[in-house]
Amino acid sequence: MGQAESHRRAGTAPQNSHGVRSRGGLALLPEELLVLILSWVPGRILATRGRLVCRHWRDLIDSPLPWKLQAERDPSKLEGLRSALEAARRCPRLEWARVGALQPFARNLIKNPRGEDQFLHWQVGHGDGWCLGDNTCWMLQLVDLVKEGLWEDLLDTCQPDIFISEWWGTHENCGCTYNLYITLLAGDKNSVIARFVTEADSAEEWDIPFQQASHVFREYGPGVRYLRFQHIGSRPGEQRTEAHLTNSTVLVKLSG
């Protein structure tokens, strides 16, 4: 009782068991105004801390209301919002706080897609049995679709479209051969559920413009949990592979 009285005299709200201040005077606000205020909180903080304040805040954050307001202020989030709304229509168990914080829709799930941080997030190697020529190099990234914000019911039942894209071109000093290997994997990371492989694209000319390799996975079946994105290049002879790769992309979308 003395502690509660000291909080009132100090003009501060008591803390809950998680050390988060309770909503205090915000309880007096109309719900529309409270939702507007919450929508200005960064998504991850809203989902991980805001939900702990009280049941009322949790219920609001678990609804689409604050996330719609955030997307309406940021045009880059509108396409993701449309996919999320369609997912909510098809899969009633959508967790808005999770989707709002992680934004799995219409966001590039490949990390370091342009190599601006050198090989960060990529596995790099040579040969490995996929050899296309005398001198082969490969780069690989494994995408955990559930960790990125999707969920099992959605992947198994709705099977959203998965868009794959990459741009490649030759180095100024030589040509090359380029292939893109994409596999959708089950939870064991080994069982292949669907795959896409480009035909070997060869460019003997020097310094040719970038060209695109792309594919869309649709109706790929249940069980997908991972996506393996791998590109392989080779340069016959003893010279090292010379290719420019950029803007590796994996996008997940749902349309009505």
Angle at 164 between CA 126 and CA 87, to 5 degrees: 135
**Which part of the chain is CATH 1.20.1280.50?**
2-102
166, 249 contact by CB (below 8 A): yes
Is the pLDDT assigned to residue 203 strictly greater than 60?
no
Kindly state the average pLDDT of the residues 87-97: 87
- What per-residue confidence (pLDDT) applies to 22? 45
231, containing H or E segment: strand 226-234
Q: The tokens of 31 are what?
A: 């719900």
Helices and strands: H and E segment counts in the chain:
8, 9
How does residue 238 score in pLDDT terms, banded at 50, 70 and 90? low
Burial class (CB in 10 A: 0-12, 13-18, 19+), 205: exposed
Listed in sequence order, the residues at least 6 apart from 165 whose beta carbon sits closer than 8 Å to its beta carbon are 212, 213, 214, 247, 248, 249, 251
Kindly state the average pLDDT of the residues 166-180: 73
The pTM for the full model equals 0.78
38, containing H or E segment: helix 31-38
The runs of H, that is alpha helices, within 55-193 are 55-61, 65-73, 78-90, 96-102, 152-153
Is the pLDDT assigned to residue 51 strictly greater than 60?
yes
Kindly state the average pLDDT of the residues 71-79: 90
Domain 2-102 has CATH 3.40.50.150: no
- Fold designation for 123-253: Jelly Rolls (2.60.120)
How does residue 208 score in pLDDT terms, banded at 50, 70 and 90? low
- What per-residue confidence (pLDDT) applies to 177? 74
**Which part of the chain is CATH 2.60.120.260?**
123-253
Chain segment 105-137, per-residue pLDDT in tens:
999 999 999 888 888 899 888 654 333 445 677
